[in-house]
Amino acid sequence: MVPVLVIVAPGQGAQSPGFLTPWLEDPVFAARFAWLSSVAGLDLAHYGTEADAETIRDTRIAQPLLVATGLVAALRLFPHPGDFFDRIGAVAGHSVGEIGVAAGARAITAEQAMVLVRERGNAMAEAAATTATGMTAVLGGDREEVLAAIERHGLTAANDNGPGQIVAAGTLEQLAAFKDDAPAKARLMPLSVAGAFHTHHMQPAVAHLETLARAVSTHDPRTRVISNRDGQVVHDGREVLARIIGQIASPVRWDLCMETMADLGVTGVLEMPPAGTLTGIIKRALPGVETFALKTPDQVDAAREFCEKHGEASGLDLTPTWRMVVSPAKGTFRLDAEAAELDVLRAGAAIGAVASLRDEISVTAAHGGQVVEWLVEDGDPVAPGQPLLRLHPEGAA
């Protein structure tokens, strides 16, 4: 079996009082963390070492705290990231963790990530304050019965975290009625969050972030990015950013992200700090996949050994003079007959589709350019993130 490494970053709720204390004992980590804290305009070192659980539950604090921790810990783990990008099979973040992995994959800068996450936290907190909303984890029960009950009470399945764990979100009245009409054999656990995240209640926050995003320059990621929206691999920097923003008001499909990991043949998953939540889910959903929860700096050497064990050449050629169009999912590639005859593709031109058991996904050349090489043929089976077409960007030297 060829080893495949996936790096993941947790979402809000992974933080705990004092979790940052051992990390800040390293002066290099502390200096880098202070820089990102300055960008965010928050004393994140205080919140990660001295603040209580209620304080760091605040969306305005929790989100920048998580992203900054993951970004600086990644530099501790990979001092020279460029040397390791081609050995990381994919990256994925849960909810706000997507901002961290986007920066880690170089789709956006760390500074852009901190501004976006600061504004995301503020906007989501403001949206949550307009209506009394919340979230409840539904553990166990029959999946179809759970989803039917959520829909019956006007709630949203805001997080689908795989077998036996779905999070319902909506107004407090809806959640109370849901509690009184709980699905059979399911256990309900109210979550300590400020509102119904990843539902239509967060739409005002989306509008604010969309305005800010117009000023953000992006780059195609240096490794495969698995999107929360549908588990597809996204390789256009602009789409990575657009999906992160839209996800604020859309359900997190972590179950589909794990399906894509399985399609990639994942053998090892490393979770960035504060770790433990996602590796726990992955252990249940993907038995046989080795996991590593990076929680403290004294684990860094062991984490590097884990990455060496599972890191293998990804096959994703990211030479800067080329543009790669990659498959968004596992399936069969259907070549667009018109695209096959062209030497130059316009930006946004369709090149074909990937047909899977679930649906058929259109594939476009987001940037356009001179066709250098088709890497697949019509009818070929493809894997998530597999290169389909190599382009030379228009106007490139």
What is the value of pTM for the model shown? 0.92
Vertex 253 angle, CA 251 and 255, to 5°: 150
Q: Give catalytic residue positions.
A: 95, 198
Supply 91's token pair: 């990256």
**CATH superfamily name and code, 130-190:** Malonyl-CoA ACP transacylase, ACP-binding (3.30.70.250)
Cβ(45)–Cβ(23) below 8 Å = no
Domain with CATH 2.40.50.100 in the chain: 323-392
Q: What is the pLDDT of residues 150-159, one digit of tens each?
A: 999 999 999 9
To the question of domain 5-127+200-310 being in CATH 3.40.366.10, the answer is: yes
* 163 — pLDDT class (breaks 50, 70, 90): confident
Per-residue pLDDT, averaged over 62-72, amounts to 97
Domain with CATH 3.30.70.250 in the chain: 130-190
Q: Residue 9, Cβ neighbours under 10 Å: how many?
A: 31
Residue in 286, 230, 261 with CA at minimum distance from that of residue 384: 261
Q: Which CATH class is domain 323-392?
A: mainly beta
* 193 — pLDDT class (breaks 50, 70, 90): confident
pLDDT of residue 396: 44
Q: What is the pLDDT of residues 315-350, one digit of tens each?
A: 665 555 578 899 999 999 999 999 999 999 999 999
Cβ(61)–Cβ(55) below 8 Å = yes
pLDDT of residue 321: 56
Domain with CATH 3.40.366.10 in the chain: 5-127+200-310
Supply 278's token pair: 């996602």
Name the helix (H) or strand (E) containing 240. Answer: helix 237-246
Rounded CA-CA distance 44/121 in Å is: 14
Instruction: For residue 309, give Cα distances in angstroms to 150, 239, 263.
Output: 42, 31, 19
pLDDT of residue 314: 63
Q: What is the pLDDT of residues 126-150, one digit of tens each?
A: 999 999 999 999 999 999 999 999 9
* 391 — pLDDT class (breaks 50, 70, 90): very high
Provide DSSP, 118-183.
HHHHHHHHHHHHHS-EEEEEEEES-HHHHHHHHHHTT-EEEEE-STTEEEEEEEHHHHHHHHHTPP
Rounded CA-CA distance 272/93 in Å is: 10
